[in-house]
């Protein structure tokens, strides 16, 4: 059996269980040496397919792709509403904030439009929100992505170069203590990284289904941010502050 075949079989073992021990993998490949299997696992870890844990256990690294905004708006709705309420409490009159794309960020719009604040955003959902508006809203330019109702790219980055925020609220597709904050596209990752560098305070609006998951592109490490979520997670909270009900 060639290395690729072994590695695919190892991944198939992990699909139906959260963790597998090294000796359990050895039992599946009785004719393969331990050193060869460890090389296979190191190759899978290098490619962000698995993660070694203390004690010799191995777990699958979940990869999260881009889900259309119309579908995401129906997922974990109660949790996202809870996150938006918690996020709104972090915003006071006079703040200059950045509000990102994403379904949780769109819910936050509705809760802060009557605050006397300045909102910079790349979230095109703002055009469909109705009601009284006291906030000053500045829509940044860029290439429109209808999948996530967002604009990003070179023009967006030029717009952001000379703008600084007291607080920014970012949507993410995955956060993990080892792999950091990830998102599906290079353009979105570059935008989020630039916003983080230009913000006094950064809040990640992340429902708990995205904990310990990995998307395609790393935006930045999981540090110097505050996570707002629907439940507490001990591993995440050891690295950054976590706000949850």
Q: In 10 A of CB 63, how many CB atoms?
A: 15
* Predicted local confidence at residue 225, as pLDDT: 98
The reported pLDDT for the residue numbered 241 is 97
Q: What are phi and psi of 85, to 5 degrees?
A: -65, -45
Q: What is the mean pLDDT of residues 79-90?
A: 95
CATH of 69-243, one of 3.40.50.1360, 3.40.50.2300, 3.30.70.360, 3.40.605.10: 3.40.50.1360
Confidence category of residue 236, pLDDT binned at 50, 70, 90: very high
Question: What is the rounded CA–CA span in Å between residue 37 and residue 27?
Answer: 11
Mean pLDDT of all residues in 121-137: 91
Most confident of 24-28, 127-131, 145-149, 191-195: 191-195
Residues 145-190 pLDDT 10s: 888 889 999 999 999 999 999 999 999 988 988 889 998 889 999 9
Mean pLDDT within 104-108: 93
State residue 171's pLDDT score: 94
pLDDT tier for residue 48 given thresholds of 50, 70 and 90: confident
Q: Which tens digit of pLDDT belongs to each residue from 195-227?
A: 999 999 999 999 888 898 888 889 999 999 999
Please say if the pLDDT value at position 67 is more than 50: no
Quick: pLDDT tens for 111-124: 999 999 999 999 99
Provide mean pLDDT across the span 65-77.
51
Domain-wise residue ranges, the chain? 3-60, 69-243
- The predicted model gives 34-47 an average pLDDT of 85
User: What length does the chain have?
Assistant: 245
pLDDT at 74 over 80: no
How many angstroms separate the CA atoms of 243 and 50, rounded?
28
Q: Three-state SS for 34?
A: helix
In terms of pLDDT, which residue wins out, 245 or 66?
Answer: 245
Exposure string (b/e) for 15-40, b if CB count within 10 Å is 16 or more? eeeeebebeebeeebeeeeeeebeeb
Question: What is the assigned CATH class of domain 3-60?
Answer: mainly alpha
pLDDT at 34 over 80: yes
pLDDT band at residue 71 using 50, 70 and 90 as cut-offs:
very low
């Amino acid at each position: 059996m060639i290395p690729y075949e072994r590695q695919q079989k190892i991944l198939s073992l992990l699909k139906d269980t959260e963790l597998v021990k090294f000796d359990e993998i050895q039992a599946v490949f009785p004719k393969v040496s331990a050193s060869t299997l460890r090389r296979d696992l190191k190759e899978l870890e290098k490619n962000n397919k698995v993660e070694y844990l203390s004690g010799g256990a191995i777990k699958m690294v979940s990869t999260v792709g881009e889900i259309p905004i119309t579908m995401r708006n129906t997922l974990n709705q109660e949790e996202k509403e809870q996150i938006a309420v918690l996020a709104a409490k972090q915003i006071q009159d006079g703040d200059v904030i950045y509000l990102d794309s994403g379904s949780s960020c769109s819910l936050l719009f509705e809760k802060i439009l009557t605050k006397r604040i300045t909102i910079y955003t790349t979230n095109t959902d703002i055009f469909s929100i109705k009601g009284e508006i006291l906030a000053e809203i500045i829509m940044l330019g860029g290439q429109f992505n209808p999948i996530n109702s967002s604009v990003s790219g070179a023009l967006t980055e030029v717009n952001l170069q000379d703008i600084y925020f007291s607080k920014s609220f970012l949507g993410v597709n995955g956060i993990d203590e080892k792999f950091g904050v990830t998102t599906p596209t290079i353009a979105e990752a570059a935008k989020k990284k630039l916003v983080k560098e230009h913000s006094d305070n950064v809040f990640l609006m992340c429902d708990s289904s995205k904990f310990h998951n990995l998307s395609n592109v790393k935006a930045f490490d999981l540090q110097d941010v505050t996570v707002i979520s629907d439940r507490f997670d001990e591993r995440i909270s050891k690295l950054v502050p976590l706000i949850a009900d």
